[in-house]
Structure 1
């Protein structure tokens, strides 16, 4: 059974790091922070996901290290890191380092990976969707273990965001490991996913209220926002592409958030 969230509503933006010079991406991140967003995300790919397939593109974690210095208030993270591209222990160390650079503002977003061109062009084994999910399942405990061993330790318990909607494997991993679940879809799809997530939490003996629910959004916030909030969604993330990074829709969501939070 889904219930409205008691969390403060938050708004994120995913700046797609494609078809733009880095200076434009940096300006967009600064503008988003000035607008009052809560989290600025990028993504973890090596090529554009739409538009010119060989267009301009920048790497995820190098950028997050730069954002850690270029911003001062917002949380930052990948939506989401591809588990396949980095050794889990290395990723934990990278996350801890960006956590310190940012003064404790990193969200560790992670998923199993899906964009085949990234794999083939950079020499990773694409395998199968099930195999990639199994790899993610084995990586998450290794990441947690390494974070516990690092010196200095992270500045805080770094929030883990897991993206994806697979009902048998992904949402079970969310129930076991995540602080934030991120999904996509209309309210009917989201309702189904959060009901499955709640069931996995019950099976594991975990309070589902411990997991923040996040959703990618577009359109009018006054129409979509309340429907998702009724399902317990409290983080609403707007995707924005280059090269211009038009933040007009993001402004609407920030204004709606402020109205709801009072």
Structure 2
């Protein structure tokens, strides 16, 4: 894996229990602090707190973030493949990529995707929930279509849009990661990573792809979790994400981990 690459910090602004103005202002503050990536999530309802609390849709929000930000990369951690046709997702991603390509002419969008898991989203919005296997099969079928559509679009994306895939399953998910991902995101513990990377390498050999340049991504906790962060780093993690939730987004953990990043990168 990319063990020699610098540490990067992503912040997931969970779009729940807050007004959109608060979310917008928080994204601007995160960019001003110097974070590398800002994420939302692709759900239709809160995942914690009041189940019917304030909540906003992901992709519409990403279009606004593309316009309002100047430097920071951004995307969804992660998008749900089930909710949108693959070719449409590719076109949406390409368009957001161009919206964000201000000044430099190079976009900043990260295409995060996964198979989906939150059953309420499916039930209330009329999507077939299926099984983990059918959802993963759908993701495996969608990603080649996304890439093919990017090659056909006029204009094409401004860059090779990075693909982030979330999950840890060894039989299907890591094969999809080996074939398509630039970033692999999971919540596995530090002592699990070596085994998962070995599985990923074997899948890379199977599908004929060198997986050594895939960035390993994982989630950080609050301040005081430095020992776990060090263990994740030693295991090869280089993109670390911090999740913050409304109604008031506490940026103290973000500031802590940005200082840790800067110390690690020297």
Same fold (TM over 0.5): yes
* Equivalent in 152, 155, 160 of residue 152 of structure 1: 155
Residue 130 and residue 71 in structure 1: after superposition, are their counterparts in 2 closer, same or farther (change >3 A)? same
* Equivalent in 234, 238, 248 of residue 238 of structure 2: 234
1:202 Cα offset (Å): 2.9
- SS, match of residue 209 in structure 1: coil
Q: 1:39-74 CA deviation, whole Å, 9 max, x = no partner? A: 000000000011111111000000000001111100
Q: Which residue of 2 aligns with 1:252?
A: 256
Q: 1:206-250 CA deviation, whole Å, 9 max, x = no partner? A: 222210110011143531222112221100000101110101111
Residue 149 and residue 4 in structure 1: after superposition, are their counterparts in 2 closer, same or farther (change >3 A)? closer
- SS, match of residue 55 in structure 1: coil
- SS, match of residue 210 in structure 1: coil
Runs of 4+, deviation exceeding 4 Å: none
Q: In structure 1, how many angstroms separate the alpha carbons of the residues matched to 2:244 and 2:57? A: 17
Of 54-63 and 192-201, the range deviating more from structure 2: 192-201
CA contact (8 A) 1:217 1:237 kept: yes
CA contact (8 A) 1:4 1:231 kept: no
1:4 Cα offset (Å): 7.3
How well do the aligned residues superpose, as a CA RMSD in angstroms?
A: 1.2
Q: Which residue of 2 aligns with 1:261?
A: 265
Paired residues, what number?
260
Q: Which residue of 2 aligns with 1:116?
A: 119
- SS, match of residue 107 in structure 1: strand
Structure 1, unmatched stretches of 5+, are none
Q: 1:162-184 CA deviation, whole Å, 9 max, x = no partner? A: 00111110011000001000000
TM-score (norm 2): 0.95
Structure 2, unmatched stretches of 5+, are 102-106
